[in-house]
């Protein structure tokens, strides 16, 4: 099965929404999968295909190792903080 097969048939509006969510630091890949059914690999392939090479490199550099793009590590990080304001970060 080609690696772009799941993404081939999505409309432009959905594609634009996925790209926007992928750029957003607060939206995790887990949330994108829950809402749209696309995995992290699917989103990476979409971004690779749709972005210019320089934008692709910038995005990859940005999301690589970013805690907020992965729910479990981010939740673990939040549990180590002792702050009254944590109630605003409940997921």
Q: Please provide the average confidence, as pLDDT, over all residues in the chain.
A: 79
Name the H helices within 11-51: 12-23, 29-36, 40-50
Express each pLDDT in 51-78 by its tens digit: 999 999 999 988 887 666 665 655 665 5
First to last CA, the chain: 34
What integer is the mean pLDDT of 33-62?
A: 92
Among 19, 41, 29, 39, which Cα is nearest to 74's? 29
Q: At what angle do helices 12-23 and 53-63 cross, to 10 degrees?
A: 50
Q: Which of 28-32, 49-53, 83-87 has the highest mean pLDDT?
A: 49-53
């Amino acid at each position: 099965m080609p690696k772009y097969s799941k993404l081939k048939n999505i409309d432009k509006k959905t594609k634009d929404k996925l790209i926007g969510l992928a750029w957003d630091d607060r939206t995790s890949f887990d949330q994108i999968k829950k809402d749209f059914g696309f995995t992290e690999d699917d989103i990476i392939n979409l971004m690779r295909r749709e972005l210019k090479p320089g934008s692709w490199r910038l995005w990859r550099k940005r999301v690589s190792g970013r805690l907020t793009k992965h729910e479990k590590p981010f939740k673990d990080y939040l549990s180590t903080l002792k702050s009254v304001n944590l109630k605003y970060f409940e997921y």
